[in-house]
Structures are given as C-alpha cells and as structure tokens.
Structure 1
Amino acid sequence: MRYRVKICGLTDPGQAVAAAGAGADAIGLVFYPRSRRAVRVEQGAAIAAALPPFVSAVGLFVDPAPEEVERVLRGCPLDLLQFHGREDAAFCEGFGLRYLKAIAMGGGADPRREMEAHPAARGFLLDSHAGGKMGGSGERFDWGRIPEALERPWLLAGGLDPGNVAAALALTRPFGVDVSSGVETAPGQKDPRLVREFLDMVRQVERE
C-alpha cells in the first residue's frame, strides 16, 4: 500500500519545495501563535504558492476563534484545515473546507469516540499531545493503544523520525504519517537530508 506523508511546521518556501521534491503529499502550516513553528498569514501564503500541483497545504489551528480562521483563509490558500484543540464538529465544519481532526492520544482520548464525534472529517491524526495542546514535541505515545481496524483514514504522528518510521508503519498500518520535529535541526527548520531519509524509509516499507 502507499502511505501518505505530511511534513508539518514548515516556515519558508524553500523548505516546502524541498519536501515536495522528496515526495511529501502535504505540508503543514502552523497558525497557532504560541508555537515555535508559527507562521504569519503572508508567510503561509508564500509557502502555499510555492507548492507544486497535487501537494496539499494544510493549515493547523488550536482552539481558534472563528474570526482567526477566516482571517487566515482570506490571505492564504489552504486545501485543508487541521484542528488540534477541543473544537467540536459544528465548529470544524463551519468554514466550507475539508478538515482533519487531531486526537490527543497523550491525553487518553478514545479514537473511536472521537471519530464518531466528527463524521464529516476527512481524516484524523493520532498524536502524542494532550487535550487542548498541539504536537511537535518529539514525544511518542504508546502505539499499542491504537484500536485495530479503525474504519476512518488516520495519520500516525508524534515522535516519528527516519530511524523509527519503518517500525511504526509495520506495527500500526495507518493511512499515513505526519512528522515535524523528527526532520528538524531546530524548531521550524526542516533538514532536507532528514526529510529525504524519512520519505525514503516510508517508500522502502511500501516496497516490502
């Protein structure tokens, strides 16, 4: 099977072009001011504009006000929204755009229950963060807590890097993976070599 790969927390167009060139399916733009990887609307727009066709730009928010999401959407072309806080389905569906919902595995969330609560979500991220916080910590959760045969598409996130992504895929068999700190030299500074290594490991698993 082919695994989808999202590289999250990019902060300049060059990083986005390099990630896309390495084979990433999507890149994540963080619109959460408290994050060390946060971008301004104009930064996000420049990054999204640099992406080649068929690479998605995903905007990440954590418990935003509706006006904040709308402000970003007016200035930055996004393909999907990603909500990392306690947003309910009505809120997530209120912007006329497809969305992903993060599930706080570090906070003991029940993936099946969260998926049932968001019937319109296009996919989910099972991440190591606790409720009301965001990922990018470099920490992983206990993958053994993931229920078998989840029926909705989901991405594995939290603590992934080139050294462990193959084992993670073999154990959990997600729809795809999401990586941030595992391919960085500093918060928001993606290392092209690590990005390529990460993608190469994913594609190697696909061929096995």
Structure 2
Amino acid sequence: MKIKICGIKDVSTALAIVEYGADAIGLVFADSKRKIDMESAIEIVKELPDFVMKVGVFVNETKEEMERIASCIGLTHLQLHGDETPEFCQTFAMPIIKALSIKHKNDLEKIKQYPCESILLDGPKGRYRGGNGEAFDWNLLQSEDLQSKQFILAGGLHEENVQEAIQRINPYMVDVSSGVETEGKKDLNKIKSFIEKVKITALEEK
C-alpha cells in the first residue's frame, strides 16, 4: 500500500514524511492555498531520494507549461485535476495521474475513458479541484470499477477513516492533504500517525 502526502511546501516537512515512510509527495501548482512556487519546489525535489514519487498537481494547465515545470523541477508524475480529455492525457511521455471528482455513480464511467495507468478518485469539487477534505460515497464503487488501473484513493481521508477505506476499497495508493493538517498547515504528528495506520492496516489485509 503506497502513501502520498499532498500539498507539501517546505523541505523539512518533505524530508520528515519520507522518513516516516511516504512513497510520494504532491506539489501543487494550481490555484490553491497549498500552491507552491518554483524555487521552493526545486529545493524540495533536490533533497528527496530517487525512489520518492514527485507529483506535480495541475488544473487545466497547458501541456507546454506542465512539461517546462516538470523538467525544471524534476517531477516524475503529473496529476491532472481539471477538464483534461483522454486524448490530451495521451500526448505526454511521462506518467499521468488523472483525477476524477466522484459525486454520482455515473462519474465512475469516466474511468474507462482515460488511458492513464493511474486514476485518482477524489471527493466532490469544492472551491478548489482537490484538497477540499470531503470524501465521496465509497458505496458507489463496485469491484468492476476497480479493474486494470492503479487506483489512488483521495478525498476526506484521515487517521480515523483510512483503515476502513483500505479494507473496503484496497487501493493502490492513498492520498491525503487536509486530513493531516492543523489550522491549514501540515501537522507532522498527524502525518506520522496516518502513515503508521496505513502500514498496519495494509499488513493486516495481506
């Protein structure tokens, strides 16, 4: 079970979450209270081990700008939270994670349309396209929805509900942002507890 902590904005937090056992960090370049500047992102990625996924989060950005940012910073994946089409996602050479906001059952039909290896299932859209801290109804997911893709579960996850999420859905990765924050800032104690809960639950599920 892989773990991604999204919305990282400084080197010390990034290094701490890797030490705790996170597999991926998310750097937000879209309109968000967690948006990061290029200089800070470069400093973070420079300090991270090679095995850590460095995911850039974008919303309706141009292909040219995303590729420029990815090259300058050293991103390994692009996570797209906007209205990007399946055809657009196919134009990239690097791995794409397509995020889908789930509110109704028919939102899951989009899974089949995208060629991306990884699909992120997020909560309903709020002020921002991600990081709103709201879970979708996990009962909407059926086993047939979860075939042939690497699913990343996001939206409203925190230490108290991630065990149930893993047991019910068994995703490839869990992704958390607001669920490990206190007063809008990343809380290292919450991050550590979240990661420990995920790892314990994953072992129990084997």
| Secondary structure of 2:49's aligned partner | coil
Q: Which ranges in structure 2 are unaligned for 5 or more consecutive residues? A: none
Task: Report if the CA contact (8 A) 2:8-2:26 is conserved.
Answer: yes
Change (3 A) 1:18 1:109: farther
Provide the residue aligned with 1:204 in structure 2: 200
Instruction: Tell me which amino acid in the other structure corresponds to 1:89.
Output: P
Map residues 106-145 of structure 1 onto 2, 5 A cutoff.
Answer: 106=103, 109-111=106-108, 113-119=109-115, 121-130=116-125, 133-145=128-140
| Secondary structure of 1:106's aligned partner | coil
Provide the residue aligned with 2:182 in structure 1: 185
Deviations 1:115-142 (A, max 9, x none): 32222x1201110033995111111111
Structure 1 residue aligned with 2:36, among 33, 36, 39? 39
Deviation for aligned residue 1:70:
2.8
| Secondary structure of 1:158's aligned partner | coil
Deviation for aligned residue 1:186:
3.5
Matches of 2:127 and 2:60, distance apart in 1 = 7
| Secondary structure of 2:103's aligned partner | helix
Matches of 1:98 and 1:40, distance apart in 2 = 22
Provide the residue aligned with 2:10 in structure 1: 12
Percent identity of paired positions between Structure 1 and Structure 2? 40
Query: Structure 1-normalised TM-score?
Result: 0.90
Deviations 1:57-94 (A, max 9, x none): 00000111223213312321000000011101232232
Aligned CA RMSD, in angstroms, stands at 1.8
Structure 2 residue aligned with 1:92, among 89, 98, 107? 89
Change (3 A) 1:106 1:69: same
Task: Report if the CA contact (8 A) 1:16-1:27 is conserved.
Answer: yes
The count of corresponding residues between Structure 1 and Structure 2 is 202
Matches of 2:86 and 2:24, distance apart in 1 = 23
Map residues 22-101 of structure 1 onto 2, 5 A cutoff.
Answer: 22-32=20-30, 34-101=31-98
Task: Report if the CA contact (8 A) 1:45-1:75 is conserved.
Answer: yes
The answer as to 2:142 corresponding to 1:147 is yes
Instruction: Tell me which amino acid in the other structure corresponds to 1:16.
Output: A
Deviation for aligned residue 1:164:
1.1
Moved more, 151-160 or 85-94: 85-94
Task: Report if the CA contact (8 A) 2:150-2:171 is conserved.
Answer: yes
Matches of 2:106 and 2:22, distance apart in 1 = 28
Q: Which ranges in structure 1 are unaligned for 5 or more consecutive residues? A: none
Task: Report if the CA contact (8 A) 1:85-1:133 is conserved.
Answer: no
Query: Structure 2-normalised TM-score?
Result: 0.91
